[in-house]
Amino acid sequence: MGKRFDLVDVFHDGPFTGNPLAVVAAAEGLDTETMLRMTRWFNLSETAFLLPPEDGLADYRVRIFTLERELPFAGHPTLGACHAWLSAGGVPRRRGEIVQECGAGLISIRPDEGRLAFAAPPLLRGGAVDAETMAMLAAVLRLDPAEIVEARWADNGPGWIGVMLRSAEAVLAVEPARHQAETLDIGLLGPHPAGAQAAWEVRTFFSDAHGNLVEDPVTGSFNAAVAQWLRETKRADGPYIAAQGTRLGRRGRVFVAYDGSGAAWVGGRTQTMVTGRLGS
């Protein structure tokens, strides 16, 4: 096979503190089954496969896989794939902007003070959850429903449901049920005290193939939906930093800013940790 691959640390705050991503370059000729098999072999939360663009406005195309399925969009694979594409010599068509083509369409990415940031895509599903879903969330998270400030759909591809708690401390204290028959993607957020380095604490949990809820180190897609949520509800109108991965011993840092139109940009540091060649 001989294809180049990179292991990229995304949303890190120092080496080996973010969310690792495998990126396979020049993935032409790999079919879906092979990509999924390779993703399972890397055994990371996601693997990205770089391909030539099909849309004339895009700089490159990416296919994003979890251990179970292909995603139309995901955040840390977007930044990690862009980082790998640039590191391999990719030159964007437009100065100061990289355009990624993926299942969700075209995603704009820009350099941002030594980081990369992507424009948050529109939600596929938003709005408040119903009473039945709220009860299920409280049960899975082992919370009294009164502890939940707000819960809403935050689905921009993976299928997130967002749950806001009163504080970062409350988010870090959650001990969810570790097995759930229904496939779930749940994100938690809660504010840090005023003056803290990070404004919000975030945690995310997703179902694996066996129904276990697994915690993700840092999740760009959920943070993108959160940025839109906070802006819409007037809880944020300027730049802020979100922390994620704390309970896992990581120091994920997500940098959010809003442009003049109110669109959210979600950024983070990216670093190549390993570069190699795949065997035949």
Active site residues: 46
Q: Look at residues 62, 83, 70 and name the one whose alpha carbon lies nearest to residue 8.
A: 83
Q: How far apart are CA 10 and CA 18, in angstroms?
A: 5
What does DSSP assign to residue 33?
H
CB 249 within 8 A of CB 17: no
CB 201 within 8 A of CB 244: yes
Phi, psi (rounded to 5 degrees) for 132 = -65, -45
Q: Which residue has the tokens 């997500």?
A: 254
Phi, psi (rounded to 5 degrees) for 196 = -70, 155
> 137 in helix, strand or coil?
helix
Beta bridge partners of 210: none
Q: Token pair for residue 134?
A: 């709220």
The per-residue DSSP string of 53-92 comes to -SSTT-SEEEEEE-SS-EES--HHHHHHHHHHHHHTT---
CB 23 within 8 A of CB 9: no
Neighbours of 145 (CB within 10 A): 13
Question: Who contacts 279 (Cβ-Cβ below 8 Å, separation ≥6)?
Answer: 1, 2
Beta bridge partners of 190: 201
